[in-house]
Structure 1
Amino acid sequence: MSPRLKITILYLLGFSIDLANMFIVNAAYPTIQRELGASVAQLAWIANMYALGLTVVIPLGTWMARRLGERRLLIISLFLFAVASLGIGLAGSIHALLAWRLVQGLGGGLLIPVGQAMAYRACPPEGRAGLTALVMMTALLVPALSPAAGGLLVDYVSWRAIFLSMIPLALLTAGFAWWWLPADASAQDSSRLDVRGLGLSVVALACLLLGMSMLGQPEQGAGAVLAMGAALAAAVAYVVHARRAVSPVLDLSLLQDIQLRTGLVIYLCVPGGFAGVSMVAALYFQNTLGLSATQTGALMMPWAIAACLAILTTRHAFARLGSKPLFLAGIAIDVCGIALLATPLAQQGIGRIAAFAAMGLGASLCTSAAQSAAFQDVAPSRMGDASALWNINRQLSFCIGTVLLGSVLACLLVQHADDPSMAYRQCFVVAALLALLPLPFVMRLPMPRAFAPISH
């Protein structure tokens, strides 16, 4: 087995653990609520605490990888994740569970960017589309299978088994990292940690996540405004600081790379937008159209089939066409799918299936091309910094999409209290317009060679 294949397997294992840990817990919420006496708000923080831990530690990961070595950091993060999983499995209260969930996020947040940087650095530019296809297939299959596995564990063992089952997976991956990866050099980077930048970035990200989590709760409107204001102030302060710092904890100069910058915007608006659309659609189908939860969940099947087709298409088309045609096609198809939900056809089964298939095809064309393009021109020495920016954006995109469209829907439902269907249809129109936002960035991308005019 080649070293490159070993690194790829390690990254995909770590990525799978992270994804499974996010989605497998969905089946356990009712049981946790009963056994630990948790409120609905506390249940929501089971996901929020993990996301918070993931997001705030990512800026620290790049410096730690240089300081400790990537092999050591991967093993440390996996052991931290395993210890936190044990703590959650033995938690006697919801407060203990949430505390350990935060620690678990810290371990996962160190794991993914380091593994991603290693995998893309080891892969030559012409082979990164193939690596992205494997990553996207993992991102497709694990969330689809995890809830069912979690349901089996809850029904036949215990909700605690969900988290305890993560321990052997994490330790096995740590063993592979110890066995497969070369030892880190004894002389690691001795550069000083950008403490001020780390503090500002953590405050900005934590306040942003906190503010977004409170936006959907009218009684916490003032707190949401304060948190979002603090996030904006800290973000502006960090940008000013990063322009002067020698080694900023998050290297914003990488955003000068047009492919990386466009990929980040695409991910924020298209996959992030779908997170919001799927929530609004679930409410529309069940609360207004009277569909069951099973019928609503089944719509992810045509989405997954179309997404798989898009991933396979991108793997072969990216090297020949480049990212621009794939972005344009993906956005157009995705917008058509979202817009279809705003029409009377969404009240028919065939219309809903067509809408979700189009969204799966369009969003996955965009996502696969974005991940391949984002790291295409990044120097190997800066891959860790690029990976940190990418993963922060990935975490935030799903939160922002859900909160934004959820807030729009709440306002529209008040305006159309006598006709909720109109509120949902208008919300889908807003979502379709949001998916068009990356177009100015896409149009600035260079014309692919295959379509370049022939000079005479």
Structure 2
Amino acid sequence: MSAATPLPKRAAPAGAAHGPGPGPDSAAGRSVPGMRGAQLALLTFALSLATFIEVLDSTVTNVAVPAISGGLGVSNSQGTWVISSYSVAAAIAVPLTGWLSRRLGETRLFLGAVILFTLTSLLCGVAGDFHLLVVCRALQGLFSGPMVPLSQTILLRTFPPDKRVVALALWAMTVLLAPIFGPVVGGWIIDSFSWPWIFLINLPIGIFSFAVCMTLLRPDASAGKAAPIDLPGILLLVIGVGSLQTVLDLGHDRGWFDSPLILTLAIVAGLAIVSLLIWEAGERHPVIDLSLFRDRTFSFCMLIISLGMMSFSVVGVIFPLWLQAVMGYTAYQAGLATAPLGVLALVFSILVGVYAARFDARVLATFGFLLFAAVLWWDAHFTLTMTFTQIITPGLIQGIGLPCFFIPLTAATLSRVSDDKLAAASSLSNFLRTLSAAFGTAMSVTLWDNRALYHYDVVAQSVTKSSGNTQRFVQSLHGMGIDGARELTTLHHVVQQQAYMMATGDMFYMASITCLVLAAMMWLTRPKRGAAMALGH
């Protein structure tokens, strides 16, 4: 919805259901008084761990599908339901977080989500049947939904106003680094132990996080004062988002709209989401507060975050795919090649958190996007003869840009949001972020394959008997004793390898240009000076 589109006059703010804004003692309107030093550090560590395992679980299974499929006696295509069931359920739960937190309270909802996520992790680890595992993964995804947005909200409320950029930096570290290290952790666990341990490692972390948060966080005084249940909105949300996420998860493997299932789900998703927007715009107590988009800064920041996550999917998805499919790396080696992105990202997340309040958020975000654009342009010139060191060097530098745009952009997004709508805004921004990442992943893989097919056709036309290069290559094959059918197979492999290398360069070029556009778009926003400190106004 456009930021300039007015809502009907009968629409009420999300907080209207429980009268005026929260009072001074409400968990929805204050930071936790008296929490300093060791207590604040311990709570921050516990919240960050909870966020880390939730985001990690969304990626750690990517490299475990073959092991899970083999262990439970199903095909790899069936095994992907372990990923799809989790992502669909999480996609449904995240936008419900704002509404649920008003009914149950932020603290109660977060604690309940953490302990139930931990319990379902145990059930996933001991599941001996594939269908039971899929059900447990769906439940795990459902309970994971509130964890990331509420961890962000609770951190911001807990930290004093002058330290809220630090809180955002700590939260951003866990959200950004977990997907990077997910394949590394998953590959190491599969190689060293067995697939159930990718779920069982959540147990001690989840229990620790729950115990610390249970001890240090206060109950919400405003719990139970939310609006009546928006049942039509919830049903439309579940149907629309669930169908859309399933389309994104299965579309590539099913041939997109050539599949009757994907076509049907896409139509259902479109109708349900359009109906949801129409319904919520006129609903007095909406499950999703569309009035947030009245603010120009929130709307543009959401657009930038969405496009940014789509571009980032090229790094997170195409880069490791290229390493494995073209360069011959194993999943674990590809994870190690991706991991350096997190090294300087970790360091600069801390620096940005400490010093960001001194700068205009737009300046920092623009610098981050421009650095990303430069490195992606560098990546676009990769070749098949790259060494491991040459491959990881750009990613190491790219880690500087990641926190420089993500932290100030997140602060700018929430800078003009009133405190009583903070949880709703956080859940909505996280929902759009994860949905955009899923969309970017699906589109990137499809576009990568399509570009590879195009380049294959172009390169194959030059592989003729009259070509001098082809003749010399065939002669070298004959010298190695390769001829006949093996010769044709080798030629096909070489052309295909070149085609995917060229397609990878195309993807990096497009992502680089997108980052340049996003750097310019940042100046269409108007975040408050010291954006993170303005939270809760």
Following the alignment from structure 1 to structure 2, what is the Cα–Cα distance between the partners of residues 158 and 189? 46
Whether 1:395 and 2:440 are equivalent positions in the alignment is no
State which of 197, 200, 204 in structure 2 corresponds to 1:161.
197
After TM superposition, the structure 1 = structure 2 runs for residues 1-400 of structure 1, keeping only pairs within 5 Å, are 1-2=35-36, 8-26=44-62, 28-143=64-179, 147=183, 149-150=185-186, 153-154=189-190, 157-185=193-221, 188-221=224-257, 222=259, 223-290=261-328, 296-343=334-381, 347-349=385-387, 352-400=391-439
SS of the residue corresponding to residue 430 of structure 1 reads: helix
Q: CA deviation at 1:149?
A: 4.9
Residues 187 and 29 (structure 1), Cα distance of their counterparts in 2 relative to 1, 3 Å cut: closer
Q: CA deviation at 1:50?
A: 1.3
Structure 2 equivalent of residue 441 of structure 1: 521
Following the alignment from structure 1 to structure 2, what is the Cα–Cα distance between the partners of residues 94 and 367? 37
- The TM-score with structure 1 as length reference comes to 0.88
Range moving further from structure 2, 90-99 or 263-272: 263-272
Residues 5 and 447 (structure 1), Cα distance of their counterparts in 2 relative to 1, 3 Å cut: closer
Q: Which runs of 5+ in 2 are unaligned?
A: 1-34, 460-497, 531-537
Residues 114 and 315 (structure 1), Cα distance of their counterparts in 2 relative to 1, 3 Å cut: closer
Q: CA deviation at 1:414?
A: 1.8
SS of the residue corresponding to residue 189 of structure 1 reads: coil
Structure 2 equivalent of residue 454 of structure 1: none
After TM superposition, the structure 1 = structure 2 runs for residues 417-432 of structure 1, keeping only pairs within 5 Å, are 417=456, 418=459, 419-420=498-499, 421-432=501-512
Structure 1 equivalent of residue 443 of structure 2: 404
Residues 28 and 283 (structure 1), Cα distance of their counterparts in 2 relative to 1, 3 Å cut: closer
Q: CA deviation at 1:225?
A: 3.4
SS of the residue corresponding to residue 80 of structure 2 reads: helix
Q: CA deviation at 1:382?
A: 0.8
Q: Which runs of 5+ in 1 are unaligned?
A: 451-456
Residues 400 and 414 (structure 1), Cα distance of their counterparts in 2 relative to 1, 3 Å cut: same
Q: Percent identity?
A: 26
Q: CA deviation at 1:403?
A: 1.1
Following the alignment from structure 2 to structure 1, what is the Cα–Cα distance between the partners of residues 152 and 529? 28
SS of the residue corresponding to residue 146 of structure 2 reads: helix
Following the alignment from structure 2 to structure 1, what is the Cα–Cα distance between the partners of residues 333 and 199? 28
Structure 2 equivalent of residue 416 of structure 1: 455
Following the alignment from structure 1 to structure 2, what is the Cα–Cα distance between the partners of residues 288 and 155? 22
- The TM-score with structure 2 as length reference comes to 0.76
Q: CA deviation at 1:295?
A: 5.1
Contact 2:47 2:213 in 1 (8 A): no
Q: CA deviation at 1:208?
A: 1.3
Q: CA deviation at 1:8?
A: 3.3
| CA offset digits 1:327-372 (Å, max 9, x no partner) | 2111111111112222256853465334323433223321122122
User: How many pairs are equivalent?
Assistant: 450
The residue type paired with residue 427 of structure 1 is M
Following the alignment from structure 1 to structure 2, what is the Cα–Cα distance between the partners of residues 346 and 267? 32
Q: CA deviation at 1:293?
A: 5.0
Following the alignment from structure 2 to structure 1, what is the Cα–Cα distance between the partners of residues 384 and 345? 20
Following the alignment from structure 2 to structure 1, what is the Cα–Cα distance between the partners of residues 290 and 393? 40
Q: CA deviation at 1:322?
A: 1.6
Residues 102 and 114 (structure 1), Cα distance of their counterparts in 2 relative to 1, 3 Å cut: same
Following the alignment from structure 1 to structure 2, what is the Cα–Cα distance between the partners of residues 196 and 74? 25
Residues 345 and 327 (structure 1), Cα distance of their counterparts in 2 relative to 1, 3 Å cut: farther
SS of the residue corresponding to residue 270 of structure 1 reads: helix
The residue type paired with residue 149 of structure 2 is P
Q: CA deviation at 1:80?
A: 2.1
| CA offset digits 1:255-313 (Å, max 9, x no partner) | 23344333323332224322233422333344444556555433324322232343234
Structure with max Cα Rg: 2
Q: Which has the higher contact order (CA 8 A, sep 6+)?
A: 2
The residue type paired with residue 434 of structure 2 is Q
Following the alignment from structure 2 to structure 1, what is the Cα–Cα distance between the partners of residues 385 and 345? 23
Q: CA deviation at 1:228?
A: 2.6
Following the alignment from structure 1 to structure 2, what is the Cα–Cα distance between the partners of residues 175 and 279? 35
Following the alignment from structure 1 to structure 2, what is the Cα–Cα distance between the partners of residues 89 and 299? 28
Contact 2:348 2:404 in 1 (8 A): yes
RMSD (Å), alpha carbons: 2.9
Residues 66 and 444 (structure 1), Cα distance of their counterparts in 2 relative to 1, 3 Å cut: same
Range moving further from structure 2, 303-312 or 194-203: 303-312
Q: CA deviation at 1:129?
A: 1.3
Range moving further from structure 2, 252-261 or 102-111: 252-261
Contact 2:152 2:171 in 1 (8 A): no
